[in-house]
Amino acid sequence: MSRGGAVTWQSLLEPNDAIYAVRTQAPGPEGRLPLTPALLRDSPSGDVFGMTQNAGMGWPRANMLGPQVMIVSTAGGMRSEDGRPIALGLHSGHFELSDQVRAAAETIADAGGLPFATYVSDQCDGRSQGTTGMFDSLPYRNDAAIVMRRLIRSLPTRSAVMGVATCDKGLPATMMALASQHDLPTVLVPGGVTLPPAQGEDLARVQTLGVRYANDELSLEDAAELGCRACASPGGGCHFLGTAATSQVVAEALGLALPHSALAPSGEPVWAQVARQSAHAVLRQRELGITTRDVLTEQAVENAMAVHAAIGGSLNLLMHIPAIAHAAGLRRPTLDDWVRVNKAVPRIVSVLPNGPVHHPTVRMFLAGGTPEVMLHLRDLGLLHLDVLTATGETLGTVLDWWESSERRVRMKQVLLDQQGVEADDVIMSPARARERGLTPTATFPVGNLAPDGSVVKSTAIDPSRIRDGVFHHVGPARVFTSEAAAVAAIKERAVSPGDVMVMMGIGPTGTGMEETFQVTSALRYLSYGKEISLITDARFSGVSTGACVGHVGPEALAGGPIGRVRDGDLVEIRIDVANLEGTIDLVGDGSGRLTPTEGARLLAQRSPHPDLAPHPQLPADTRLWAALQEVSGGTWAGCVYDTDRIVAVLRAGLAALDGADG
């Protein structure tokens, strides 16, 4: 180091004399490997080499023949023993997960097993909102699942697998990886939620600080203070029912996670206990001979879809649940399946962001969480009760226990004592939910702008815009071919009440199907935002609200008619929030009103919008992902990789090229 502490290039190479105290050999671990003649004769060399590695890492030789359990997690960042950050994670969701990994691993070891821990950390959708980092968000899910599967298979002697994950893409990726372990027992440990501030804004609303400041609806001082304290604890997923929290609930509803494990507050005793009990559960499954194939069935997937509808969950799960089913070797739910389930299942949960009362997710956990929701659905006859759960028992058995359990009673009492909230005001009976005005979750509009379908969180439309159960908006199109242009227009007040914003070219081929929360949150939290609607081929954050229609198919860059809309076209949106039916149509141009049929003909005659193109900074990795998922069925099939289909298309393409060359 030079005087004054400045770093010179020489000091990088010769920092101090301590670097010359180098050992060239070491005595190695004491003791003997527990080898047998049969093991040496019959086992592959990798088994013996693995034992050598285990000894080298310091594992006790006397405890080397127990069941080997692979733990995959999305842990990120690094903390000191006293909890201070040494290196930050990309988000609080994975910042404390290593503590859950440790709790699970210690439990496995205490039971005589050998835990292995590997890590595939994940990105933060909130951190990458409005940036090119969002182009890697959804594609990351597929990549992470692949890497996790490769790591799992890299321990050939594994006899069970655990996953520990929390947030928007890491948790679905982990479920996909576990779902593919057909012949092994698996358990998912949900990483829990962060606590909301005692006074301040939730993590959804706080993401709109910039747009509210730009519209003179928030001061600089308030923005700085609110932004500082929105994360009231260092770990856990966002405290609203977005994609992270919804995925935790879905993991439990699928039977992959223990009952009442989703949404536990990160860092609290119950959260660490979830990891320990999950370790016991996966070892119990092994003893009983239960595998993932026994737990993940088509009936389990239907249960998860029903719970998703009942809680009003994130629409991103419309892509993740089919992807999990695909990994499990099951039939993927179709658009018709989603319509059927959402028409049959009432919404009975009042949480952020749907309300009507915006309870944070920790209150949902204390109100009974997923088992409480499923108890109500059981009484309506909407669940398959004979499916197995992570406990090794059937769902029916678990719900019978939950109904009279001490845990149920005491958790609800904690909610009442600490928050003054009755559990039945968070998770309601269907009758109470009807009285409070809760309506079903999602509607799937079709029309000349979305011939393959689309989706809107109909529960999130401002009630003042609904007349006799129907949202109806006819307005001029304001066309944007990038999210950045749409956000700029809102900040500059260039979008007016009554407009229909049409964001095109932001689907898989254009941006990796980025999440457009910047726009949807602005419309939610601006005073006049409820008067503006949005139609896009992109996707939304799980906390998005308002009259926002997404997942429009086909996407613009795949020839979808949404890519032929022009500024000033007249667009009609009609959403029946009671019967869950809807349409989005072009119904006019500069020459006057058109019928939907006439609008379809006009769209077919037009060329694509002249500014329509993939984002110039779209990574090559994401372009490859977009092509592979399109061949595999696209958005409504879960954005998966269907290997057989991809191979068939490649072979057909090569044959066509060879024929053309010939």
- Catalytic residue annotation: 541
Contact by Cβ (8 Å): 475, 500: yes
The one-letter amino acid at 640: V
Q: How many of the other CB atoms lie within 10 Å of CB of 591?
A: 7
CA–chain centroid gap for 642, Å, is 20
CA dist., res. 525 & res. 531, Å (int): 12
Residues 6+ apart with CB under 8 A from 632: 639, 640, 641, 642, 645, 646
CA dist., res. 553 & res. 576, Å (int): 20
Question: How many residues are present in the chain?
Answer: 662
Sequential DSSP letters for 365-386:
HHTTHHHHHHHHHHHTT-S-TT
For 489, half-sphere exposure in the C-beta direction (CA atoms, 13 angstrom radius) is 22
Q: Read off φ and ψ for residue 504, nearest 5 degrees.
A: -120, 160
CA dist., res. 526 & res. 546, Å (int): 11
Sequential DSSP letters for 546-613:
SSEEEEEES-GGGT-GGGG--TT-EEEEEEETTTTEEEEEEEEETTEE--HHHHHHHHHHSPPPTT--
CA dist., res. 242 & res. 357, Å (int): 16
User: Residue 144: is it exposed, middle or buried by C-beta count within 10 angstroms (0-12/13-18/19+)?
Assistant: buried
User: Residue 446: is it exposed, middle or buried by C-beta count within 10 angstroms (0-12/13-18/19+)?
Assistant: middle
Cβ-defined contacts of 25-32 (< 8 Å, 24+): 28/56, 29/55, 29/56, 29/58, 29/61, 31/55, 31/61, 32/61
User: Residue 159: is it exposed, middle or buried by C-beta count within 10 angstroms (0-12/13-18/19+)?
Assistant: middle
Q: How many of the other CB atoms lie within 10 Å of CB of 622?
A: 26
Going by C-alpha positions, the residue among 491, 495, 535, 496 that lies closest to residue 516 is 535
CA–chain centroid gap for 411, Å, is 26
Between the alpha carbon of residue 118 and those of residues 36, 76, 163, the distances in Å are 29, 12, 10
**Sign of the torsion formed by the C-alpha atoms of 354, 360, 362 and 367:** negative
Q: Read off φ and ψ for residue 283, nearest 5 degrees.
A: -70, -35
CA dist., res. 364 & res. 351, Å (int): 7
Q: What is the DSSP letter of 447?
A: B
